[in-house]
Chains A and B, each alone.
Chain A
Amino acid sequence: MTTVEQAVGWRDRLGEWLRERISVAVSEVTAAAALVVLFVALSLASPHFLTADNLFNIGSQTAVIAIIAVAQTMVIITKGIDLSVGSVAALAGVVGAMVVRDLGFSVWEATAVAVGVGASAGLVNGLLVSLARLPPFIATLGMMSAARGLVFIVTGAVGVYSLPESFQLLGNGVIAGIPFAIVVTAAVALAAGHLLSQSRFGQHVYAMGSNLEAARRAGIPVRRNLTAVYVLAGVLVGLGGMIAASRVNSGQPNYGIGLELDVIAAAVIGGASLFGGQGRIMGTLIGAFLIALVRNGSVLLGINIHYQQLIVGIIIWAAVYFDQFRRRRLESRG
């Protein structure tokens, strides 16, 4: 190789490297920019936005959306979708509240029970997808209805109240000045991020979402892994549901209706692709924060809740359109 060729090769390689990095992180960077813009805009638009109380509120609201969005992200990476997150979170929340009220469980024991409820629902979802081979959309649509039905059956459609002060620990507690829920979220995100990006299991999850047949031929136990992803997602949904119940110090049978849209939006905004194989926890966290801000800002600015729904719908369209556009461009290069 001559020096001229080397010089050209060096520049080409730098260019390629930059293009590669940008294409990997483009959703995250875009979402982060949108987040900053929205944050500044809300600070200017509402005097109540930059108050300690409100920021705390946003923090714990973000926590619930973020934890469940992390669960959704893992499922989306496998080319699946989990529509049952709202119902399962509600089920975990009311059961967690009921064992405290009726059986005198501590808040920690109740959290373990709630996580168990979520994991069980996740196991059913996972088996329906991997063994019964139902499309994830259908499997989790069924669970969405079934879990909500269970919520109303166990509670008699009445909220679970009369809970001790300690029940609020997860949702409203503070540790070293930081909302406890944020600490939990950070731990969850760190663990999930490492699992996805650094472990063999994570690598296989991406591979399965990218090309299931390739993964199978490579000797990856795809059914077991797929089931494990739904169980893990269920664990996080159960935890999220418990935090949500803790925030309002009660188990609410109607909690989480439409939550699936918020968390799918959060994941997709952050770069998770509904076509599978793509998605990162960092992006999902940014997306969750963005969604929480949209919700919070709408309330502060007195925007009707129905308009919030409209806004989230449009965000989902835009994010998925953007993802498709990006994929098409990549494919046309190949």
Chain B
Amino acid sequence: MSGEPVLQARGIVKRFGHVEALSGADLTVHHGEVVALIGDNGAGKSTLIKVLSGVHPPDGGEIRLGGRAVAFASPVDARRAGVETVYQDLAVADDLSVAANLYLGREIRRRGPLGRIGLLDKRAMRRGAAEALEQLGVRIPRVTTPISMLSGGQRQSVAVARAVIWATDVVILDEPTAALGVVQTRRVLELVQRVRDAGMSVVLVSHNMPQVLEVADRVEVMRLGRRTARFTAAEATVDDLVAAMTGALTTESLD
């Protein structure tokens, strides 16, 4: 886990009117690691995620992807660069099938003139979706099932799977298990680990400290709009994390 970070944010500033949500925030993500991003409510986690995924343009600072400086004008930009995000509200279309959701905005068209006028190759998408879900170990009845007929955990898994399928570098997960029960949470966390094992980098925003220590390789803590502490998950305790979140402990030099 050395060398150039896959994703690096340095000194990110984001203001909303007079409120400074991020005042020089940093985040480092290396290749093939799960980084947990934690912090109290209002610490700026969600804002940082939205800056990294192209929803909010930053007012200052620098984002580097694979060593190159990037500027995302929109979520589409970020996705094109290989950064996929699963938001808390999932952003799946309930009435569409699992396959249609996985390919939403990236539909496969038929070959030839029929494709040029916009006709879809549904079979190819069904096959692709089934293969991808199988690979990720996501268990759902069928890829033709509408999302509205799935359980909360299955929906979450589909949302995560969609991000993973299209991401080339980094998957950002904003509170992926907040609304889930125990068994469903387990499924999603297993999925996160499989994604990491496949060589992808994951940024996991979570409130659940034991979960963070279990799944993440490293933990970065935000407080008052900047990074205040970094831990290796294997060496940290829940108490350490809480201390860092409340400001009792810092590992970063704050100037």
Q: Residues of A at under 8 Å CB distance from B?
A: 13, 16-17, 19-20, 23-24, 194, 198-201, 203-204, 206-207, 209-211, 213-215, 217-220, 276-278, 330-331, 333-334
Contact A213 B89 (CB under 8 A): yes
**Which B residues are in CB contact (< 8 Å) with A330?**
148-149
Closest to A277 in B: B95
Using a CB-CB cutoff of 8 Å, which residues 94-112 of chain B contact chain A? 94-96, 100, 104-107, 109
What separation, in Å, do the CA atoms of A218 and B155 have in the docked complex?
17
- A13-B142, A17-B142 known; A203+B89 contact, CB < 8 A: no
Contact A277 B94 (CB under 8 A): yes
Using a CB-CB cutoff of 8 Å, which residues 61-100 of chain B contact chain A? 75-76, 79, 87, 89-96, 100
Could you list 18 A-B pairs, sorted by A, with CB under 8 Å?
A199-B119, A200-B118, A203-B120, A207-B100, A209-B95, A210-B96, A211-B91, A213-B91, A214-B91, A214-B93, A215-B104, A218-B104, A218-B106, A219-B75, A277-B93, A330-B148, A330-B149, A334-B152
Q: Does B17 contact A (CB under 8 A)?
A: no
Chain A interface mostly: helix
Contact B119 A207 (CB under 8 A): no
Contact B76 A215 (CB under 8 A): no
Contact B149 A210 (CB under 8 A): no
Closest to B80 in A: A219
B229 to chain A, nearest CB (A): 31
Q: Does B151 contact A (CB under 8 A)?
A: yes
Q: Does B146 contact A (CB under 8 A)?
A: yes
What separation, in Å, do the CA atoms of A204 and B152 have in the docked complex?
23
**Sample of 13 further A-B pairs with CB below 8 A, known A16-B141, A199-B118:** A20-B146, A23-B149, A24-B146, A198-B119, A200-B118, A201-B118, A207-B100, A211-B92, A213-B91, A220-B104, A278-B95, A330-B148, A330-B149
Contact B149 A20 (CB under 8 A): yes
A207 to chain B, nearest CB (A): 4
What separation, in Å, do the CA atoms of A331 and B87 have in the docked complex?
20
- A200-B118, A219-B79 known; A207+B149 contact, CB < 8 A: no
A272 to chain B, nearest CB (A): 11
**Contact residue among A13, A201, A220, A278 (Cβ-Cβ distance under 8 Å from B141):** A13
What separation, in Å, do the CA atoms of A163 and B92 have in the docked complex?
53
What separation, in Å, do the CA atoms of A200 and B79 have in the docked complex?
20
Contact A203 B119 (CB under 8 A): no
**Contact residue among B76, B93, B141 (Cβ-Cβ distance under 8 Å from A211):** B93
**Which A residues are in CB contact (< 8 Å) with B149?**
19-20, 23, 330, 333-334
**Which A residues are in CB contact (< 8 Å) with B145?**
16, 20
Contact B155 A334 (CB under 8 A): yes
Size bracket, chain B contacts? 20 to 34
**Which B residues are in CB contact (< 8 Å) with A217?**
75, 87, 91
A330 to chain B, nearest CB (A): 5
Q: Does B132 contact A (CB under 8 A)?
A: no
- A206-B93, A219-B76, A330-B149 known; A200+B142 contact, CB < 8 A: no
Closest to B125 in A: A203
Closest to A207 in B: B93
Q: Does B150 contact A (CB under 8 A)?
A: yes
Contact B100 A203 (CB under 8 A): yes
* Residue with the highest number of chain B CB atoms closer than 10 Å, among A13, A276, A277, A334: A334
What separation, in Å, do the CA atoms of A194 and B152 have in the docked complex?
32
What separation, in Å, do the CA atoms of A200 and B121 have in the docked complex?
10
Contact A218 B105 (CB under 8 A): yes
Contact A334 B151 (CB under 8 A): yes
Closest to A278 in B: B95
A9 to chain B, nearest CB (A): 10
A222 to chain B, nearest CB (A): 11
**Which B residues are in CB contact (< 8 Å) with A333?**
149, 151
Closest to B154 in A: A334
**Which A residues are in CB contact (< 8 Å) with B117?**
199
**Which B residues are in CB contact (< 8 Å) with A213?**
89, 91
What separation, in Å, do the CA atoms of A57 and B176 have in the docked complex?
58
B85 to chain A, nearest CB (A): 9
Closest to A21 in B: B144
What separation, in Å, do the CA atoms of A278 and B94 have in the docked complex?
10
Closest to B152 in A: A334
What mask results when residues 130 to 172 of chain B are scored 1 for a CB within 8 Å of chain A, else 0?
0000000000011011101111100100000000000000000
What separation, in Å, do the CA atoms of A198 and B93 have in the docked complex?
17
**Which A residues are in CB contact (< 8 Å) with B104?**
203, 207, 214-215, 218, 220
**Which A residues are in CB contact (< 8 Å) with B92?**
211, 214
What separation, in Å, do the CA atoms of A199 and B219 have in the docked complex?
44
**Contact residue among A13, A24, A206 (Cβ-Cβ distance under 8 Å from B96):** A206
Which 6 A-B residue pairs are closest in the complex by CB-CB distance? A218-B105, A277-B95, A210-B93, A214-B91, A210-B95, A219-B76
Contact A219 B152 (CB under 8 A): no
**Contact residue among A19, A215, A277, A334 (Cβ-Cβ distance under 8 Å from B150):** A334
Contact A207 B76 (CB under 8 A): no
Contact B142 A334 (CB under 8 A): no
Contact B96 A207 (CB under 8 A): yes
**Contact residue among A200, A204, A206, A219 (Cβ-Cβ distance under 8 Å from B95):** A206
What separation, in Å, do the CA atoms of A24 and B159 have in the docked complex?
22
Contact A334 B89 (CB under 8 A): no
B40 to chain A, nearest CB (A): 26
